[in-house]
Structure 1
Amino acid sequence: MSTQNLHVAVVGAGLMGADHVQRLARRTAGATVSAVVDIDQERAQAAADMASPARTFSSVEDLIKAGAAEAVVLATPGFLHEEALLQLIDAGIPVMCEKPLTPGPESSLRVVEAEVAAGQRLVQVGFMRRFDAGYRQLKNIIDAGTYGELLMLHHQHRNASVPETFTNEMVIHDSVVHEFDAVRFFSGEEISNVAVRTGRHTSKGTELVRDPQLVTIQTSSGLLATVEIFVNAKLGYQVLTQAVFEEGVVKIGESAGPTVIAESRTGSAIDQTYHTRFVEAYDEEIQQWVNSVATGVPVGPSAWDGYATAAVCGAGVSAQQSGEITSVDMAHKPALYA
């Protein structure tokens, strides 16, 4: 398939879907937005107008019947993913699915099994941090053994605030999910157990979240990682990583831009949302996905990565509730993802 005119449909015309429509139409080489799918046709049309002459549909089924897309970006809420993914896999249509693959390990495993039955990788999961320049640089340092063996990872994930409806479970499923994938990405290993601890909590938070929380993670080889998750930090949006090696420490993510020294002060700006912090990662993610559809060689996180992370999230929620170290229960990894 040629990237000169890859017809891409965006399913879901909310904030993320509309952002992807603009990205595909204005900043992605070799792609054309051929359709926008949303049950809200007014919203679908508003997104389609950014990529005229894109067509609109109210369902994935209608999109497939019309033959209006060679590939799909799936940006609906996670609970709608399984049905759409199973339809698209059955139709043989490549999909870039925003995280999560599905909200739970059981449904994610059904997607994996459908893809295995189809005999080819069709799904890429939107863990965009893997395409961030700092993440790639740190991954290269780890793999090269530049400073010896990786001994520990420390992550800090801070949001300015979250809605009043944000829950403890969402801390794991919507926020720490990225660090779970990061630990797997950096280490190349599966996560074997998770623990969650809480202590003093902010008076600036919401009633449904004990904030901040400290998550500890251990991989199959014994690598330890920590995550400070603070979703009402007020200071802005920060994603920081510190890797501890035998012969050094490497930090990434500390500055959103230039450091300014003036008027007896020094400092740098802090991003306010993930849209600015990871905009280049999103662009690179979609560009590489479009290129991979053209070559038929998958390059990004797979359906297995989506399933494995969902399994860790399940253990993470259990650890939140029990206060105990909780093992991650996972299926056998199919040869398709070797």
Structure 2
Amino acid sequence: MTVRIGMIGPGGMGQAHLDRIRTVIAGAEITGVSDIAPDNVRTVCEKYGVRGFDSSAELIASPDVDAVMICSYGPAHEADVIACIEAGKPVFCEKPLTPDAAGSLRIMEAEQKAGRRLVTVGFMRRFDRSYSEMKAILDSGEVGETLVIHNRHRNPGVPERYTWDMAINDTGIHEIDTMRWLTGEEIVRVRVDKPKKTTRRFEHLQDPLILIMETTSGIWMDDEIFVNNQHSYDIQCEAVAELGTIRLSDQHAVERTGVLGRHNVLTMDHNQRFGGAFVTEVQQWISAVACGEHTGSTSWDGYAAACVCDAGVRALESDTWVPVEMIDKPDFYA
């Protein structure tokens, strides 16, 4: 079976997925796109030879669309995800599922009413080989209990439209989900520390900042979020356990030695660093859709991450610990 996919919001991320589906991913084809920008729809249709829809509603309802990928702006996700659920079509939604927990809660309610898991959230780090190996070691118990986890999320730069809260709900959300998945625990409270600001930032930003998180068993996690480091896309993680320490290996494939010394090429964006994870993630989703199954992150994962983000944004304003407020996990997502 070839899964016919409709894509909503084929911007940079959407077109990267489209390229993967056309070149290295099996079992699917993009049959149509929609976007709030008509010019972008025309450009994508001409580039890829796909059909353009006048609206996301028209795309979701089309008999030529079996499943939907949503790569649009976060605030637009909720209505389209719920429309996919009501149409009975599997939907892959890039993070965040919604910008706040209330929207994700409404999506969960719609999905439970439908009686079937249809929503997969695009948390690609769960499919990264190095993170997966780290999780396997921690889950095995060979290094004892996990005590502390250090994270670093550094970008070379961000555009001026990057707002002050996006450090938490657009950048830090990756570590928030990864830490929930890595430890198998929920995050119960958060704090934001504010070090000296870089001069290489827009005035409205606190950059860098340190997001501190604590889990149900007391694991302490920090996340340095630095989005204007000027040199590379640099992702680091180190788990400190009772009997050992596990960290991600250096993030380059080739090291050169010569008259200029020893050096390596740095990754500059998420597609370079997590290209393999994106392929694995989308391939698994497509294979699951073809079999009528669900794989990957659920609406609950999107909701839980949003709850932590909500608390993190409040902590950014209040300079104190903020509790994470969540409902009990429904049996539907157990």
Normalising to structure 1: TM-score of the pair?
0.95
Equivalences, count: 334
Structure 2 unmatched ranges of 5 or more: none
Does the 8 Å CA contact 1:36/1:45 hold for their aligned counterparts? no
Does the 8 Å CA contact 1:255/1:268 hold for their aligned counterparts? no
- Deviations 1:288-337, CA, capped at 9 Å, x for gaps: 10011122332201110000000000000011100001100001211111
Q: Which of 80, 83, 87 is matched with 2:83 structurally?
A: 87
Q: Alpha carbons of 1:264 and 1:36: their partners in 2 closer, same or farther (altered >3 Å)? A: closer
CA RMSD of aligned residues (A): 1.4
Does the 8 Å CA contact 1:21/1:50 hold for their aligned counterparts? no
Structure 1 unmatched ranges of 5 or more: none
Normalising to structure 2: TM-score of the pair?
0.96
Shift, 1:228, TM fit:
0.7
Q: What amino acid does structure 1 have at the position aligned with 2:304?
A: A
Shift, 1:28, TM fit:
1.1
Does the 8 Å CA contact 2:152/2:223 hold for their aligned counterparts? yes
Task: Determine the C-alpha separation between the residues in 2 that align with 1:244 and 1:43.
Answer: 46
**1:285 matched to which residue of 2?**
281
**2:44 matched to which residue of 1?**
47
- Aligned residue for 1:168, secondary structure, equals coil
Task: Determine the C-alpha separation between the residues in 1 that align with 2:275 and 2:131.
Answer: 14
Task: Determine the C-alpha separation between the residues in 2 that align with 1:151 and 1:81.
Answer: 36
Matches for 1:59-208 after TM superposition, within 5 Å = 59-208=55-204
> Which segment is superposed worse, 15-24 or 37-46?
37-46
Task: Determine the C-alpha separation between the residues in 2 that align with 1:178 and 1:321.
Answer: 21
Q: What amino acid does structure 2 have at the position aligned with 1:313?
A: C
Does the 8 Å CA contact 1:158/1:238 hold for their aligned counterparts? yes
**1:16 matched to which residue of 2?**
13
Q: Which of 27, 36, 41 is matched with 2:33 structurally?
A: 36
Q: Alpha carbons of 1:155 and 1:70: their partners in 2 closer, same or farther (altered >3 Å)? A: same
**1:322 matched to which residue of 2?**
318
**1:256 matched to which residue of 2?**
252
**1:273 matched to which residue of 2?**
269
- Aligned residue for 1:276, secondary structure, equals helix
Does the 8 Å CA contact 1:192/1:218 hold for their aligned counterparts? yes
Does the 8 Å CA contact 1:166/1:208 hold for their aligned counterparts? no
Shift, 1:253, TM fit:
4.8
Q: What amino acid does structure 2 have at the position aligned with 1:102?
A: T
